[in-house]
Amino acid sequence: MRVLLDTNVLISAILFGGVPNDCLRRALAGEFELVTSTELLDELERILRERFDVPAEAVAFARGDLELAAVVVAPTRVEAVSRDPTDDRVLAAAKEGRADHIVTGDQDLLALGRYGGISIVTPRGFVRLLLEREAP
């Protein structure tokens, strides 16, 4: 299973823990294949430094770990799909990376529900899906 964790989920996982951290921890443990893009990693790096004043070394370390753990794509085509055009690059990365799920807290993406064959769910909804798959 391939999953794109949106930037807002990664920021929450790194800085605040909780359910987003559970999603990231499971990805790093190999429970599913993580998908991202160079553009989304750039966004993560920028937000951690500028909005949260995370030291550059810590940001570089986090990005490096994600680059090693994830399938990193570079979509060349971004379709206008979401009501927020900045979210279209998330959809493009998920499509290029052949993701099964996008995990996000972004209401504009969640309002879509699906994009092609990709489900769009909250972190809590995704953990619920993982638990259902593990159940006998």
Residues contacting 54, CB < 8 A, separation 6+: 15, 48
Residue 80 has pLDDT above 90, yes or no: no
Our measurement of the distance from residue 100's CA atom to the centroid of its chain's CA atoms, rounded to an integer in Å, reads 12
Structure tokens at 109: 């993406």
8 Å CB contact between 111 and 27: no
Residue 34 has pLDDT above 80, yes or no: yes
Domains of the chain from N-terminus onward? 2-134 (3.40.50.1010)
Dump pLDDT digits (tens) for 54-68: 999 999 999 999 999
**Rg of the chain, C-alpha, whole Å:** 14
